[in-house]
Amino acid sequence: MHIPDGFIDAPTSLAAGAVAVTGLAVCVHKTADSLEERDIPLAGLTAAFVFAVQMLNFPVASGTSGHLLGGVLAAVLVGPYLGTLCVSVVLLVQALLFADGGLSALGLNVVNMALVTSFGGYALFLLVRRLLPRTRASVVVASGVAAGLGVVLASLAFTVEYALGGAGGASVSTVASAMVGVHVLIGIGEGTITALVVSAVLATRPDLVHGAAHLLPHRRLVVGPRVAPEGVA
Protein backbone atom coordinates (compact mmCIF):
# COMPACT_ATOMS: atom_id res chain seq x y z
CA MET A 1 0.00 0.00 0.00
CA HIS A 2 3.01 2.31 -0.39
CA ILE A 3 1.97 5.30 -2.49
CA PRO A 4 4.64 6.27 -5.05
CA ASP A 5 5.27 9.84 -6.22
CA GLY A 6 2.69 11.01 -8.75
CA PHE A 7 -0.52 9.24 -7.67
CA ILE A 8 -1.64 12.11 -5.43
CA ASP A 9 -1.12 15.81 -6.20
CA ALA A 10 1.23 18.13 -4.33
CA PRO A 11 -1.35 20.08 -2.24
CA THR A 12 -2.93 16.88 -0.91
CA SER A 13 0.50 15.36 -0.25
CA LEU A 14 1.59 18.50 1.60
CA ALA A 15 -1.58 18.52 3.68
CA ALA A 16 -1.03 14.86 4.57
CA GLY A 17 2.57 15.73 5.42
CA ALA A 18 1.34 18.36 7.86
CA VAL A 19 -1.09 15.87 9.44
CA ALA A 20 1.69 13.29 9.68
CA VAL A 21 4.16 15.70 11.31
CA THR A 22 1.52 16.86 13.80
CA GLY A 23 0.52 13.30 14.62
CA LEU A 24 4.11 12.15 15.05
CA ALA A 25 4.89 15.15 17.27
CA VAL A 26 2.00 14.16 19.54
CA CYS A 27 3.30 10.58 19.58
CA VAL A 28 6.83 11.69 20.51
CA HIS A 29 5.43 13.92 23.25
CA LYS A 30 3.21 11.18 24.69
CA THR A 31 5.97 8.60 24.42
CA ALA A 32 8.49 10.84 26.17
CA ASP A 33 6.18 11.05 29.18
CA SER A 34 6.10 7.32 29.80
CA LEU A 35 9.16 5.90 28.07
CA GLU A 36 11.12 3.45 30.20
CA GLU A 37 14.59 2.16 29.54
CA ARG A 38 13.34 -1.29 28.58
CA ASP A 39 10.87 0.12 26.04
CA ILE A 40 13.70 1.20 23.76
CA PRO A 41 14.98 -2.21 22.59
CA LEU A 42 11.40 -3.52 22.51
CA ALA A 43 10.34 -0.69 20.21
CA GLY A 44 13.42 -1.31 18.04
CA LEU A 45 12.46 -4.97 17.79
CA THR A 46 8.84 -4.08 16.95
CA ALA A 47 9.97 -1.77 14.14
CA ALA A 48 12.45 -4.31 12.79
CA PHE A 49 9.86 -7.09 12.92
CA VAL A 50 7.25 -4.99 11.10
CA PHE A 51 9.87 -4.16 8.45
CA ALA A 52 10.73 -7.84 7.93
CA VAL A 53 7.13 -9.00 7.74
CA GLN A 54 6.21 -6.15 5.37
CA MET A 55 8.63 -7.78 2.91
CA LEU A 56 6.65 -11.02 2.97
CA ASN A 57 4.03 -10.40 0.30
CA PHE A 58 1.46 -13.18 0.26
CA PRO A 59 -0.73 -13.89 -2.78
CA VAL A 60 -4.38 -12.87 -2.56
CA ALA A 61 -6.77 -12.73 -5.54
CA SER A 62 -5.61 -13.25 -9.13
CA GLY A 63 -2.21 -11.67 -9.72
CA THR A 64 -2.36 -9.57 -6.57
CA SER A 65 -0.39 -9.71 -3.36
CA GLY A 66 -0.62 -8.11 0.03
CA HIS A 67 1.63 -7.70 3.01
CA LEU A 68 1.26 -6.90 6.67
CA LEU A 69 0.95 -3.19 7.45
CA GLY A 70 1.63 -3.86 11.10
CA GLY A 71 0.04 -0.81 12.70
CA VAL A 72 -2.37 -2.73 14.89
CA LEU A 73 0.29 -5.32 15.75
CA ALA A 74 2.67 -2.58 16.86
CA ALA A 75 -0.06 -0.75 18.79
CA VAL A 76 -1.14 -3.91 20.65
CA LEU A 77 2.48 -4.77 21.49
CA VAL A 78 3.85 -1.37 22.54
CA GLY A 79 0.82 0.95 22.60
CA PRO A 80 -0.57 3.21 19.87
CA TYR A 81 1.82 6.16 20.37
CA LEU A 82 5.00 4.14 20.33
CA GLY A 83 3.49 1.80 17.72
CA THR A 84 2.87 4.72 15.35
CA LEU A 85 6.50 5.79 15.75
CA CYS A 86 7.72 2.24 15.04
CA VAL A 87 5.71 1.92 11.80
CA SER A 88 6.73 5.44 10.74
CA VAL A 89 10.40 4.51 11.14
CA VAL A 90 9.74 1.49 8.91
CA LEU A 91 8.16 3.73 6.25
CA LEU A 92 11.06 6.18 6.46
CA VAL A 93 13.68 3.45 6.04
CA GLN A 94 11.72 1.92 3.14
CA ALA A 95 11.50 5.26 1.33
CA LEU A 96 15.13 6.28 1.91
CA LEU A 97 16.98 2.98 1.53
CA PHE A 98 14.74 0.90 -0.71
CA ALA A 99 12.95 3.51 -2.87
CA ASP A 100 9.64 2.02 -1.69
CA GLY A 101 7.01 4.72 -1.23
CA GLY A 102 7.59 8.12 -2.80
CA LEU A 103 9.42 10.84 -0.90
CA SER A 104 6.63 13.32 -1.70
CA ALA A 105 4.12 10.67 -0.56
CA LEU A 106 5.82 9.96 2.78
CA GLY A 107 3.22 12.00 4.66
CA LEU A 108 0.39 10.17 2.91
CA ASN A 109 1.96 6.83 3.71
CA VAL A 110 2.52 7.74 7.36
CA VAL A 111 -1.12 8.83 7.63
CA ASN A 112 -2.49 5.67 6.00
CA MET A 113 -0.18 2.98 7.32
CA ALA A 114 0.94 4.36 10.69
CA LEU A 115 -1.61 6.82 12.09
CA VAL A 116 -4.83 5.32 10.69
CA THR A 117 -3.93 1.71 11.44
CA SER A 118 -2.32 2.34 14.85
CA PHE A 119 -5.01 4.67 16.21
CA GLY A 120 -8.09 3.64 14.21
CA GLY A 121 -7.12 0.00 14.49
CA TYR A 122 -6.28 0.27 18.19
CA ALA A 123 -9.66 1.90 18.88
CA LEU A 124 -11.31 -1.06 17.16
CA PHE A 125 -9.11 -3.40 19.22
CA LEU A 126 -10.30 -1.81 22.46
CA LEU A 127 -13.91 -1.97 21.29
CA VAL A 128 -13.75 -5.66 20.35
CA ARG A 129 -11.80 -6.50 23.52
CA ARG A 130 -14.51 -4.90 25.63
CA LEU A 131 -17.17 -7.09 24.03
CA LEU A 132 -15.29 -10.28 24.88
CA PRO A 133 -14.41 -12.02 28.17
CA ARG A 134 -11.33 -10.85 30.07
CA THR A 135 -8.95 -13.50 28.75
CA ARG A 136 -5.80 -13.80 26.70
CA ALA A 137 -7.77 -15.47 23.91
CA SER A 138 -9.93 -12.35 23.70
CA VAL A 139 -6.84 -10.18 23.27
CA VAL A 140 -5.73 -12.42 20.39
CA VAL A 141 -9.16 -12.34 18.72
CA ALA A 142 -9.52 -8.59 19.19
CA SER A 143 -6.02 -8.03 17.72
CA GLY A 144 -6.82 -10.10 14.65
CA VAL A 145 -10.22 -8.54 14.00
CA ALA A 146 -8.90 -5.00 14.52
CA ALA A 147 -5.85 -5.64 12.31
CA GLY A 148 -8.04 -6.91 9.48
CA LEU A 149 -10.40 -3.95 9.73
CA GLY A 150 -7.41 -1.59 10.08
CA VAL A 151 -6.26 -2.55 6.57
CA VAL A 152 -9.69 -1.65 5.22
CA LEU A 153 -9.51 1.68 7.09
CA ALA A 154 -6.14 2.36 5.48
CA SER A 155 -7.56 1.57 2.02
CA LEU A 156 -10.42 4.02 2.72
CA ALA A 157 -7.88 6.66 3.77
CA PHE A 158 -6.15 6.22 0.41
CA THR A 159 -9.51 6.57 -1.33
CA VAL A 160 -10.16 9.88 0.46
CA GLU A 161 -6.73 11.11 -0.63
CA TYR A 162 -7.42 9.98 -4.19
CA ALA A 163 -10.74 11.83 -4.13
CA LEU A 164 -8.98 15.00 -2.94
CA GLY A 165 -6.02 14.98 -5.28
CA GLY A 166 -5.72 11.78 -7.30
CA ALA A 167 -4.10 11.76 -10.73
CA GLY A 168 -5.16 9.73 -13.76
CA GLY A 169 -8.86 10.54 -13.73
CA ALA A 170 -10.21 7.25 -12.38
CA SER A 171 -13.71 7.35 -10.89
CA VAL A 172 -13.55 7.71 -7.12
CA SER A 173 -16.39 5.29 -6.51
CA THR A 174 -14.67 2.65 -8.67
CA VAL A 175 -11.37 3.21 -6.85
CA ALA A 176 -13.20 2.97 -3.52
CA SER A 177 -14.87 -0.34 -4.29
CA ALA A 178 -11.73 -1.82 -5.85
CA MET A 179 -9.56 -0.71 -2.92
CA VAL A 180 -11.96 -2.02 -0.27
CA GLY A 181 -12.56 -5.25 -2.18
CA VAL A 182 -8.90 -6.25 -2.43
CA HIS A 183 -8.03 -4.97 1.05
CA VAL A 184 -10.72 -7.07 2.69
CA LEU A 185 -8.77 -10.06 1.38
CA ILE A 186 -5.41 -8.61 2.47
CA GLY A 187 -7.03 -7.81 5.82
CA ILE A 188 -7.71 -11.51 6.37
CA GLY A 189 -3.97 -12.12 6.03
CA GLU A 190 -3.16 -9.13 8.24
CA GLY A 191 -5.59 -10.32 10.90
CA THR A 192 -4.24 -13.87 10.83
CA ILE A 193 -0.59 -12.82 11.08
CA THR A 194 -1.34 -10.28 13.81
CA ALA A 195 -3.30 -12.80 15.88
CA LEU A 196 -0.53 -15.41 15.53
CA VAL A 197 2.22 -12.99 16.58
CA VAL A 198 0.24 -11.57 19.51
CA SER A 199 -0.60 -15.12 20.57
CA ALA A 200 3.08 -16.14 20.43
CA VAL A 201 4.21 -13.14 22.50
CA LEU A 202 1.39 -13.69 25.01
CA ALA A 203 2.47 -17.31 25.39
CA THR A 204 6.08 -16.38 26.15
CA ARG A 205 6.03 -12.88 27.69
CA PRO A 206 2.49 -11.69 28.46
CA ASP A 207 3.95 -8.78 30.41
CA LEU A 208 5.31 -7.34 27.14
CA VAL A 209 1.92 -7.00 25.45
CA HIS A 210 0.54 -3.50 26.00
CA GLY A 211 -2.95 -4.59 24.89
CA ALA A 212 -3.03 -7.30 27.57
CA ALA A 213 -1.79 -5.16 30.47
CA HIS A 214 -5.29 -5.27 32.00
CA LEU A 215 -4.86 -9.03 32.53
CA LEU A 216 -1.70 -8.74 34.62
CA PRO A 217 -2.02 -9.01 38.39
CA HIS A 218 -1.77 -5.62 40.05
CA ARG A 219 1.71 -4.85 41.19
CA ARG A 220 3.27 -2.25 43.34
CA LEU A 221 4.65 0.67 41.40
CA VAL A 222 8.21 0.11 42.56
CA VAL A 223 9.28 -3.14 40.96
CA GLY A 224 13.05 -2.87 40.69
CA PRO A 225 15.62 -3.26 43.47
CA ARG A 226 15.57 -0.05 45.38
CA VAL A 227 18.87 1.67 46.11
CA ALA A 228 18.99 3.75 49.24
CA PRO A 229 20.03 7.36 48.63
CA GLU A 230 23.58 8.22 49.61
CA GLY A 231 23.99 9.01 53.26
CA VAL A 232 21.08 6.85 54.35
CA ALA A 233 22.01 3.68 56.18
Partner 1 sequence: MRRTAPFVVVGLVVTAALAFFVSPHASSSPDGLNKVAIDEGFDRTEQPHALADAPTAGYAVRGVDDDGLSTGLAGLIGVAATFAVAAGLLLVVRRARGRSEATPAPARG
As measured in angstroms, the least distance from the Cβ of 221 to partner 1 is: 12
Which of 13, 16, 51, 108 is the binder for partner 1 (CB under 8 A)?
Answer: 51
Interaction between residue 73 and partner 1 (CB under 8 A): no
- Count how many Cα atoms sit within 13 Å of the Cα of residue 126 in the half-sphere of its side chain: 11
Subset of residues 144 to 173 that bind partner 1, contact rule: CB under 8 A: 155, 158, 166-171
Which of 10, 21, 22, 58 is the binder for partner 1 (CB under 8 A)?
Answer: 58
H/E/C letters for each residue in 64-101?
Answer: CEECCCCHHHHHHHHCHHHHHHHHHHHHHHHHHHHCCC
As measured in angstroms, the least distance from the Cβ of 230 to partner 1 is: 9
DSSP codes of every residue in 122-140: HHHHHHHHHHS-SSHHHHH
At a CB cut-off of 8 Å and minimum separation 6, what does 96 contact?
none
Which of 22, 64, 126, 130 is the binder for partner 1 (CB under 8 A)?
Answer: 64
Which of 15, 17, 39, 192 is the binder for partner 1 (CB under 8 A)?
Answer: 39
- From 14-22, 36-44, 127-135, 138-146, span contacting partner 1 (CB under 8 A): 36-44
- From 10-18, 115-123, 137-145, 203-211, span contacting partner 1 (CB under 8 A): 203-211
Residue 58 β-bridge partners: 66
| Sign of the dihedral through C-alpha 66, 158, 52, 120 | negative
Subset of residues 86 to 115 that bind partner 1, contact rule: CB under 8 A: 86, 89-90, 92-100, 102-103
Strands (E), the chain: 58-59, 65-66
Which of 164, 182, 188, 196 is the binder for partner 1 (CB under 8 A)?
Answer: 182
Largest CA distance in the chain: 77
As measured in angstroms, the least distance from the Cβ of 155 to partner 1 is: 7
- Count how many Cα atoms sit within 13 Å of the Cα of residue 139 in the half-sphere of its side chain: 23
